[in-house]
Chain A
Amino acid sequence: MLEVKNLKVHYPVRHGLLRGIRQHVKAVDDVSFSIGPGETLGLVGESGCGKTTLGRAIVKLVEPTAGSVWLDGEDIARLSGAELRARRRKFQMIFQDPYNSLDPRMTAGGIIGEALDIHHLAGGRTEREGKIEALLKMAGLDASHARRYPHEFSGGQRQRIGIARALTVEPKLIVCDEPVSALDVSVQAQIINLLQDVQRERGVAYLFVAHDLAVVEHISRRVMVMYLGKIVELGGAKAVVQTPKHPYTQALVSAVPQIDPAAQRTRIVLAGEMPSPIDPPPGCPFHPRCPLAETRCRSESPTLREVAPGHWASCHFAK
């Protein structure tokens, strides 16, 4: 359903007296993947790896530099203006911060109703109110909540409004950018369950962007791992977590603290930090921190290849 091909998002960095473009931040660098109807694809990585930019480029909140985003046989990356606005019905976004992503001067009903109005989805006033009520109920809120303002809700309830707003236009794909990381632990589970219920009822597909590997594994069918603008691993959720093929994923999995003190895995503690995407290292982007790095990794850039059925990794030594 969604097919992303060779997507690049490069930001120019201006320097010097004439503000000439000297370098580029390669936030997303040559990324390709697909999502099936009703599927959840998880996207994990650390801050600065480009996962948020990738999510935003797909819904065209940032302009891709190159590549294509095919949704239902149409390249969204090339659309603009009224055409793009009409297509936005098919793809929506849920944001990390439920406090800043809702207009404080609009009621919950107004926030949902605005989307109905823009896309002319409600004929009369009664139909409009009926739809708003149904959407609020779907998101686990009450019809009476329609008249309340965002500040009257808790963080979890606000995220429910965000979900109801995204569902208003009956999209095929929702990009969820860290939808639970600002929420309390006990509320996180409510929102994760809600997202799964919505998917079961509506058949909507998710690109679920998060840094919490356990949450991503729980909700996703397949998981994609990003490092420095590139996909380093892609595979079934279970396979990526239990038998990670890329040394970065192996370190990432081993770094997740475990509740059971007895069940600690051997931890691979990575030295250093992710390099700047302005001037990425030559060869494999991970080689400065990689415990397995050899001479070859410093010059030769690995490609994403299928190391096991449906399990892809970009490492010279993955098998």
Chain B
Amino acid sequence: MAALLEIKNLLIDFGSDQQAVRAVDGVSLSIGAGETVCLVGESGSGKTVTALSIARLLPSPPAHYPAGEILLEGRNVLRASQDELRRLRGGVVSYIFQEPGASLNPVLRVGRQIKESLRLHRPQAATDAEVVRLLKLVGIPAAESRSRSYAHEMSGGMQQRVMIALALASEPKLLVADEPTTALDVTIQAQILDLLRELKQRLGMSMLLITHNLGIVGQMADRVAVMYAGQIVELAPAAELLPRPLHPYTQALIDSVPKLGGGAERLTAIPGTVPSPGAMPPGCRFEPRCTRARPDCAQHVPQLVEVEPSRWVRCPYWNAGN
């Protein structure tokens, strides 16, 4: 099966040549048809920048791509013309973001915004009936009257549903969801996650879900890529990674979150903070915070290696002391 999306050794820099800061450093990732891949990491890990680069949504300058390929249905996005990009955006890949209120146009009725997307991508379907069908698809009650609402008249959960309807209007093959439920309450989060899972199945989409919440990974992901300081440090099927993480960072991350019903014993915190892109440690980027670091970790840059079938880890000592 050919991958729908294939990112190969992607580099993303910000800024001019002398002072360029590397936000993404050698990311390789593929997503197959119908697959859900979760990109996990803390702020500054490069997960959002990676996701935005798929449809070349990063303003350039300051962003530029010194090396690497992003193949969407076999076409290299980084070489695409403006016309091709316009077809890819929406037509192949759609986005939903964390703050639905900030992504919707405040002065247009939501139905009109959906129709605008339909006119662009599926002109024959740009009808009121199709708008209402999409709003019903994402579970908005009284869809006819809601299509005449403005974004500010809706709650956060409803706004996110509208965003999803808007993203689906163009019938994309890949939905990129960047922290889609972070701004929502847990009961509403559960509704939106259920909706995404159901729609993905019904429409046969692929999904790239970006989150810092490992619980969401457990519920949604087929495969997980864990990012730290601009690099993927572990890549594996979710069902194998979550119960048995191999990279020290993934292990520390899972250990540091309190689990529901997990008892009151002291949390094992990760000391220090994420390094800033301008001041990366020379060897392994997690070395300064790693409890299992060895003397040579500070000098040698570890590679992402397939240590078990379909399990990739960026740590030469993943197997030591286990």
Contact = CB atoms under 8 A, between A and B. Distances in A.
Interface of A: 46-47, 154, 156, 184-190, 192-193, 196, 211, 213-215, 217-219, 237-238, 241-242, 251-262, 264, 267, 269-270, 273
B213 A257 contact: yes
B33 interface: no
Contacts of A188: 256-257
B270 A256 contact: no
Contact of A267 (B188, B190, B266, B271): B190
Interface of B: 42-43, 155, 157-158, 185-191, 193-194, 212-219, 238-239, 242-243, 252-254, 256-264, 266-271, 273-274, 289
A213 B262 CA distance: 11
A46 B181 CA distance: 14
B260 A193 contact: no
A28 B17 CA distance: 56
Given A184-B42, A238-B261, 5 more contacts: A186-B269, A189-B256, A189-B267, A190-B269, A261-B242
Contacts of A254: 190
B218 A184 contact: no
Given A185-B42, A257-B213, A259-B254, A214 B262 contact: yes
Interface SS of chain A: helix
A259 B269 contact: no
A255 B157 contact: no
Contacts of A156: 273
Given A218-B267, A258-B260, A269-B191, A213 B186 contact: yes
Contacts of A251: 187
Nearest to A269: B190
A258 B258 CA distance: 11
Contact of B194 (A213, A237, A262, A269): A269
A259 B42 contact: no
Contacts of B263: 218
A186 B268 CA distance: 9
A256 B42 contact: no
Contacts of B217: 259
A273 B218 contact: no
Given A156-B273, A258-B219, A214 B260 contact: yes
B213 A187 contact: no
A218 B264 CA distance: 5
Q: Rank and list the top 9 A-B pairs by shortest CB-CB distance, nearest first.
A: A257-B215, A218-B258, A189-B269, A46-B185, A186-B270, A255-B190, A189-B256, A189-B267, A190-B269
A261 B218 contact: yes
Contact of B215 (A215, A259, A267): A259
Nearest to A255: B190
B244 to A, nearest CB: 11
Among A192, A261, A262, chain B packs the most CB atoms within 10 A around the CB of A261
Contact of A184 (B259, B262, B274): B274
